[in-house]
Amino acid sequence: MKYIPEPFKIKTVEPIKMTTREYRQKAIKEAGYNTFLLRSEDVYIDLLTDSGTSAMSDAQWAALQMGDEAYAGSRNFYDLERTVQEVFGFKYFVPTHQGRAAEHIMSKLLIKTGDYVPGNMYFTTTRLHQELAGGTFIDVIVDEAHDPYSRHPFKGNVDLKKMQKLVDEVGAERIPYISYETCVNMAGGQPVSIQNARELKEFCDKYGIKVMLDNTRTIENAYFIQQREPGYKNKSIREIVYELCSYTDGCTCSAKKDGLVNIGGFLAMNDEEFFVQARAQVVIYEGLHTYGGMAGRDMAALAQGIRESVATDDYIRYRVEQTNYLGDVLESYGIPHVVPHGGHAIFLNARAFLPHVPQEEFPAQSLAAEIYVETGVRAMERGNVSAGRDPVTGKNRCPKLELVRLTIPRRVYTQSHLDYAAEGIAKLYKHRDKIGGLKFVFEPQMLRFFQARFEPLPARPMKAEEMVEEEHLRR
């Protein structure tokens, strides 16, 4: 196990509260056993998400002071536009306040009722906006992505045979674009390869289908390409990012992740007509096209964040290897989790952790709540609750992956924080047979994982055959 030393030193600190088990038992009950409903001040180590939780650099804080808060034509807009063009290579840029706003505008403009939108696994907000625009999401990720223990180096890749099947079945004219995500979140932060991006673009060009990148974690994805893909060892992260984007027609981006800021997002594209339409929509939903829901200072911090993320390879090496370290420590304790390790998070396999809890009783949701009670660490469910109900049948979607995500904020926690989290989870693993499932007491219709409330169900004993299933799952 190796912890890559931080390529920065700490200038400002934020105290965090240490609490007792009794305190946390009360807090999680009040939060309806949903970690999204906990107060952040009741959390010791917050591994809920890497979204908007990065620590900014001194240069970014300085940039905030340089915010040009003009309603129209802010200097920071032009700087950000130029930075996005230079780093990602797209011709046109439309700012939004965060990623889902860009998804909303893109889905509204590109999808017609009855269309199909393939994607390399779903993302919650992305799929919802596709459905609200009248589209049907189709999963075309490689099969290995649904297997938590497959060691495929690029489990985020699109399976072109699945794309061909979809084209044959519904016709290319009903497929406006493919949503192509880098470091696929719901698969465990799994990357795509450059080869897959190139082949996908060739395929889509043949049929007139656009490739729209979900650019949220492209910097992390570039690191995996550098480490794993033949021919990329000596290329810089900046070069790889640029090349990857060149095989797409545009992107949506939640800049709250790799962009190293607390708020921000954008759309970018090469098609002028799409750009003109997106600019018209942003004025309706977000704000004028030269700020799109961000303050001038937010745009200044984002431009600086994007530059920092590709300035040298040191930052991203530390970032991804820190995540890998947490995975390695959990591995040493025998805790079941998705491999290979993703770039932004380690995903615990809740089905193997709690084989005695049926998926209809939300084992990942329950495990996230128990991790909080045991350790004060906040994690997030990424399983049956996040997947929601099928809009046609109304049944729970019951995805193959039933996961708890331990997400690492960028430049925030130290090695001892991660050691503490892993040790606590290992302790919980020893008495996991005492953990039961949950049932809904409040279930929102859309994106239910954010606000749902639950009550605990009694734990039932772990049966011998469940232990066997667990062994099989862990291989």
Ligand X SMILES: Cc1ncc(COP(=O)(O)O)c(C=O)c1O
Instruction: Out of 33, 44, 90, 123, pick the active-site residue.
Output: 123
257 belongs to the catalytic site: yes
Burial class (CB in 10 A: 0-12, 13-18, 19+), 26: middle
Closer of 286 and 361 to ligand X (Cβ): 286
* CA pair distance 41, 43, nearest whole angstrom: 5
Find out whether 46 and 417 touch, Cβ atoms under 8 Å: no
Instruction: Out of 232, 362, 449, 454, pick the active-site residue.
Output: 449
71 belongs to the catalytic site: yes
Instruction: Out of 297, 382, 410, 411, pick the active-site residue.
Output: 382
Closer of 254 and 375 to ligand X (Cβ): 254
Q: Using the rule CB under 6 A, which residue among 32, 67, 95, 99 binds ligand X?
A: 99
Q: Using the rule CB under 6 A, which residue among 51, 57, 130, 407 binds ligand X?
A: 51
Give the other-Cβ count within 10 Å of 355's Cβ.
24
DSSP string across 320-371: HHHHHHHHHHHHHTT--B-SS--SSEEEEEHHHHSTTS-GGG-HHHHHHHHH
Task: List the x/- string, 125-144, binding to ligand X by CB under 6 A.
Answer: xx------------------
> Which residue is it, tokens 């070069």?
239
Is position 67 an interface residue for ligand X (rule: CB under 6 A)?
A: no
> Which residue is it, tokens 């992305």?
126
449 belongs to the catalytic site: yes
Give φ, ψ of 299 to 5 degrees: -65, -35
Is position 323 an interface residue for ligand X (rule: CB under 6 A)?
A: no
* CA pair distance 131, 124, nearest whole angstrom: 11
What part of residues 245-264 is at the interface with ligand X (CB under 6 A)? 254, 256
123 belongs to the catalytic site: yes
Which range touches ligand X (CB under 6 A), out of 20-28, 95-103, 238-246, 285-293? 95-103
According to DSSP, residue 192 is labeled P
Q: Using the rule CB under 6 A, which residue among 190, 196, 216, 262 binds ligand X?
A: 216
Closer of 123 and 413 to ligand X (Cβ): 123
Six-digit token pair at 336? Answer: 């079941």
Which range touches ligand X (CB under 6 A), out of 62-70, 93-101, 144-152, 448-456? 93-101
Is position 181 an interface residue for ligand X (rule: CB under 6 A)?
A: yes
Which range touches ligand X (CB under 6 A), out of 62-70, 96-104, 142-150, 188-196? 96-104
> Any residues with CB less than 8 A from the CB of 369 and at least 6 apart, and which?
28, 33, 34, 35, 438, 454
Residue ranges binding ligand X (CB under 6 A): 51, 98-100, 123, 125-126, 181, 185, 214, 216, 254, 256, 265
Q: What residues are labeled active site?
A: 71, 123-124, 214, 257, 382, 449
